[in-house]
Structure 1
Amino acid sequence: MFKKVLHGLNQKKVKVFSLFLICSFLAWFLSNLSESYEARAKLTLNYRNLPDSLLLGKNSVNVMEAKLRTSGFQFLFYNFVKKRIDVDVSQVEYQNGRYVLTEDALKKQIDVQLSQNISLLDLDRSRLVVDLYQVASKEVPIKANLDLKFQQNFIMEGKPKITPYNVVVKGPESEIDTLDEIETELIQLTNLSSDFSKDAALVFPKGLDNSIFSVGRVTVSGKVVKFSEKVFETTITVVNPPDGYQVKTFPNSVTVLCKATVDRLKGISSADFEVQADYAQVNGNTKNTLLLTITKMPENVYDVRLSEKTVNFVLEQR
């Protein structure tokens, strides 16, 4: 019984001693952290205010070291979270073919972004070389890469609408000078019978590593309408007949198949078409046939086809 009581008292003393030891260590640790120290800390650089004529290269310095004087608490914080510093690129100087931010300019920028209880003593470099290069700029049209399948008697009216319709490309002139257009990713739609609108990413060509683009996605839309067919009969006109002769064709008229919307077909007549046969194309050909060509057709139609591509003819002396 006595041994159990003694053992319990000893365990209690150990716990109390351990508690006082931990508290003493924490007090000593906090006291030391509150004192000022000189040490190096890593700063993460964030480049800002780039001039429109310059772009930031991939070899730019992203992290640098600075010698600071501050409390241990602050250094402990920097070990877990790196301090971000904004670098104003508009203050760079062009020296010997490179863009440079001098040590004085760099220190001023860093110093104003540090807390009042932090003193900047030194940097790990006498100047900061910023990887910048001159850029050209051009507007490039966007082309929709479409694979559309419509229901019977349906078709897209006009061209697809692309929003935005172009992209501004900035980069080295050697990279972008041959860039004429940029396509969207493939848009596949089937069984279409109504208007459509789809978002699509742009597919940027390879070899443009140092170029940037104003947009990466566009909206492609189109109006889908129902169409019908109608046949029109029009007279064949012969041009460039030989001197002293008259060219007669057999037959003297031809039918034209026109595809358009129902409302558009109501406003179309045979007078809106002109079909010609050019005698100058014979040029020694022994066959008594002439090639027919549509030289006039109405606007806003989807397809116009001749029922016959050639016509027979005879020459009659005047």
Structure 2
Amino acid sequence: MERNLIAGLNRRKVKVFFLFLFCSLLAWFLSNLSDSYESRTEFTLNYKNLPDTLILGNNAEKSVEAKVRTSGFQLLYYKFFSKRIDVDLSNVVYESGDYLLKEDILKKQMDRQLSQNISLLDLDGTQWIVDLYQVSQKALRVKPRIELKFEPNHLLDGVLSISPDSIIVKGPASEIDTLFEVETEPIILNNLSDDFSAEVSIVFPKDLDNSIFSENRVEVAGKVVKFSEKVFDVDVRAVNVPDGYNLKMFPNTVSLVCKASLDALKKIESEDFEVTANYEQLGGNTSNSILLQVTKKPGTVYAVRLQQRVVNFVLERK
């Protein structure tokens, strides 16, 4: 029993010893961290105020290493959390084919953003080459890849609306000179019976590493109306008949089927259409039949179909 008691006391002494040792080491460590040191540390770069005529390339440096003097606490913090520095590019200069930011300018920018207990001693190099490109820009037409499937007796009223119908691309001339349009992702809209709108992503060409686009999505919209059909009887008018002759047609009146909205059909009359037989189309052919064409129709009509495309004729002297 005495042995167990002695062993227990010894274990307590060991624990107390290690506790005091840990506290001593911690105090020493914290005391040393409060001292100033010189060390190299890395700063993450965030470029801003880019001139309108330039664009930042993908190979632009993301960070810079600098020698600083500060407390051990601050250096330890930087080991785990990188400090972000805003780099103002409005002061870049163009020399010997490169865009440069002088070290003294970059150093001043960094000094303004670092806390007072950090001294910036030096940077790598005397100048900073920034990966910039001279900007060209142009408007690209947006071409929708959309398939519309309507409910029976419904159709698109007018044209498809695309907003915006063009986008701006900025980049090196070598990348964008051959671009004239961009397409949307393919989309199918089914069972349409009401007006619709949908956001569609733009598919950008590949290998445009240093170009940027003003938009990446467009809105496609359209009006849907219910239509009906109505038959109109229209007189056939002969055109380009040789002087001194009359063109007598059999029949001289034909029927056409007009497809339009119900409201539009109420306002349409036979006189709103014109069907012609152009004698010149024969071109010396001795045939006694001639092809008909619809040469006038109301703007509110979606489609017109002649029920009879050809009529017989006789050319008579006056």
TM-score range, shorter chain: over 0.9
Is contact 2:58-2:209 (8 Å) kept? no
Distance 1:229 1:209 in 2: 53
Q: CA deviation at 1:174?
A: 3.1
| Range that drifts further, 47-56 or 182-191 | 182-191
Task: Assess if the C-alpha contact under 8 Å between 1:194 and 1:224 holds in 2.
Answer: yes
User: Which runs of structure 2 are paired with 1:279-298 in the superposition (5 Å)?
Assistant: 279-298=279-298
User: What residue is the counterpart of 2:145 in the other structure?
Assistant: 145
TM-score between the two structures when normalised by the length of structure 1? 0.97
Amino acid at match of 1:46: N
Deviation by residue 1:152-193 (Cα, 9 ceiling, x = unmatched): 101111112222332121112233233222222112111211
C-alpha distance in 2 between matches for 1:232 and 1:179 = 48
Q: Which amino acid aligns with 1:280?
A: E
RMSD (Å), alpha carbons:
1.2
3-state secondary structure, aligned to 1:235: strand
Q: Is the 8 A contact 2:288 2:314 kept in 1?
A: yes
Q: Which runs of 5+ in 2 are unaligned?
A: none
- Give the paired residue count: 318
Name the CA distance, whole Å, in 2 between partners of 1:64 and 1:209.
23
Partner of 2:72: 72
CA distance in 1, matches of 2:66, 2:174: 38
Quote the offset at 1:217 in angstroms.
1.2
Question: Aligned residue for 1:276?
Answer: 276
Deviation larger for 49-58 or 184-193: 184-193
Residue 175 of structure 1 aligns with an amino acid whose one-letter code is E
Name 2:234's counterpart in structure 1. 234
- Give the deviation of 1:144 after TM superposition: 2.1
Q: Aligned equivalents of 2:170 and 2:235: distance in 1?
A: 56
TM-score w.r.t. length of structure 2 = 0.97
> 2:15 is matched by which residue type in structure 1?
K
- Code of the residue aligned with 2:289 in structure 1: it is T
* Paired residue secondary structure (1:302): strand
CA drift of 1:218 comes to 1.8
Q: Is the 8 A contact 1:144 1:160 kept in 2?
A: no
The separation in 2 between residues aligned to 1:159 and 1:176, in whole angstroms, is 29
Secondary structure class of the residue paired with 1:27: helix
Find the aligned partners of 1:296 and 1:234 in 2 and give their Cα distance.
Answer: 11
| Range with bigger deviation, 134-143 or 276-285 | 134-143
Matched, 1:200 2:200: yes
2:20 is equivalent to residue 17 of structure 1: no
Shift of 1:2: 1.0
Compare 212-221 and 12-21 and name the one that shifted more: 212-221
Matched, 1:258 2:258: yes
Secondary structure, aligned partner of 2:301: coil
Letter in 1 for 2:275: V
Equivalent position of 1:100 in the other structure: 100
Q: For residues 253-305 of structure 1, what are the alpha-carbon distances to aligned partners after superposition, in whole Å with 9 as ceiling and x for unaligned?
A: 11111101000000101111011111111112121121211111100221111
Match of 1:30 in 2: 30
Equivalent residue for 1:113? Answer: 113
In 2, the alpha carbon distance for the partners of 1:38 and 1:311 equals 101
Structure 2 distance, partners of 1:309, 1:52, is 61
Q: Please show how residues 58-69 of structure 1 align to structure 2 within 5 Å.
A: 58-69=58-69
- After TM superposition, give the deviation of residue 10 of structure 1 in Å: 0.2
Match of 2:51 in 1: 51
1:13-44 CA-partner distances (Å, limit 9, x unpaired): 00100100000000000001000000000111
Paired with 1:162 and 1:280, the residues of 2 have a C-alpha distance of: 42
Alignment of 1:162-181 (within 5 A): 162-181=162-181
Find runs of 4+ consecutive structure 1 residues off by over 4 angstroms. Answer: none
Three-state SS of the structure 1 residue aligned to 2:206 is coil
After superposition, the Cα gap between the structure-2 partners of 1:278 and 1:217, relative to the gap in structure 1 and judged at 3 Å, is same
Distance 1:301 1:27 in 2: 91
Structure 1 residue runs without a partner (length 5+): none
1:160 aligns to 2:154 (yes or no)? no
Where 1:116 maps in the other structure, the secondary structure is coil
8 Å contact from structure 2 (residues 50, 90) kept in 1: yes
Task: Encode CA deviations 1:129-155: one digit per residue, 9 max, x unaligned.
Answer: 011111112222322221111111011
CA separation in 2, counterparts of 1:241 and 1:121?
Answer: 96
Distance 2:298 2:284 in 1: 34
Q: Which amino acid aligns with 1:79?
A: K
Percent sequence identity is 60
Code of the aligned partner of 2:227: F
Distance 2:303 2:175 in 1: 41
2:30 corresponds to which letter in structure 1?
Answer: L
